[in-house]
């Protein structure tokens, strides 16, 4: 399979390009049954001309009609292809990168494939309450599977040992599911899932940047 490179996009982001943009919709906590709490969520994947996507997810508990009740949580992080470090990579910290990119074309990025249709990826996700996760996984077309290899927890964090996430495009919507193991000896349990619609622009949506989020005052218009 030959990878197509979207115009003006850093070559390394081509396998993740279908994520770029803003997404909003509803989901459920736990098993996703009618008795589980409902949440409304906005997810933004943003590129800055660098070989990573910035990830931000803002979630609110809501009623079945999508009336917002109260803030639930916010996640932030960065997603990229998993590969060896090069002089062209920024950091640690603010250490400047070499001006010449490590991968300058789609052909260069092809060398990172696991197989005919898989690229290795990594994601860091940080939560309120001193919890940070380092994920590794694969992207195959418009589908992603991730497993948290490392979890850093502070005193504010509850029981949380490891996690797995899957994401994919289903009928034009971004579907995701998050399973969590609370302890090393426990089994993974459904934590949350959602189906999100793509917003036409950054300013669209009920949780768009700059929106005043007043609980109970939002409708579906």
In the Cβ-directed half-sphere of 3, how many Cα atoms lie within 13 Å?
A: 30
- The residue to which tokens 């990878």 are assigned: 3
The Cα–Cα gap between 68 and 217 comes to 7
The Cα–Cα gap between 220 and 174 comes to 19
Strand duo 131-139 + 143-153: pairing: antiparallel
Which residue has better confidence, 117 or 164?
164
In the Cβ-directed half-sphere of 46, how many Cα atoms lie within 13 Å?
A: 13
Q: Which of 7-21, 50-64, 89-103 has the highest mean pLDDT?
A: 50-64
Query: Within 10 A of 68 (CB to CB), how many other CB atoms are there?
Result: 21
Task: Print the SS3 string covering 11-29.
Answer: HHHHHHHHHCEEEEEEEEE
218 is an annotated ligand-binding site residue = no
CA 66 to chain centre: 22
Q: Output the pLDDT for position 114.
A: 86
191 is an annotated ligand-binding site residue = yes
The Cα–Cα gap between 6 and 33 comes to 39
Model confidence over 94-112: pLDDT tens digits?
999 898 888 998 889 999 9
Q: Output the pLDDT for position 4.
A: 59
Model confidence over 114-152: pLDDT tens digits?
888 899 999 999 999 999 999 999 999 999 999 998 999
């Amino acid at each position: 399979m030959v990878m197509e490179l979207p115009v003006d996009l850093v070559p390394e982001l081509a396998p993740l390009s279908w994520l770029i943009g803003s997404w909003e919709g509803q989901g459920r906590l736990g098993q996703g049954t009618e008795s589980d709490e409902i949440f409304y969520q906005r997810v933004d994947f943003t590129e800055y001309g660098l070989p990573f996507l910035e990830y931000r997810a803002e979630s609110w508990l809501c009623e079945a009609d999508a009336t917002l009740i109260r803030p639930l949580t916010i996640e932030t992080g960065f997603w990229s292809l998993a590969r060896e470090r090069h002089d062209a990579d920024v950091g640690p910290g603010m250490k400047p990168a070499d001006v010449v990119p490590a991968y300058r074309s789609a052909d260069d990025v092809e060398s990172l494939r696991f197989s005919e249709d898989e690229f290795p990826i990594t994601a860091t996700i940080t939560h309120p309450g001193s919890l940070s996760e380092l994920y590794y996984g694969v992207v195959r077309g418009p589908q992603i599977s991730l497993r948290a290899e490392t979890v850093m927890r502070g005193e504010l964090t509850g029981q949380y040992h490891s996690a797995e996430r899957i994401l994919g495009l289903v009928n034009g919507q971004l579907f995701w599911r998050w399973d969590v193991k609370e302890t090393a000896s426990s089994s993974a349990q459904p934590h949350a899932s959602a189906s999100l619609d793509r917003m036409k622009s950054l300013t669209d949506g009920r949780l768009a940047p700059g929106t005043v989020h007043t609980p109970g005052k939002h409708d579906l218009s």
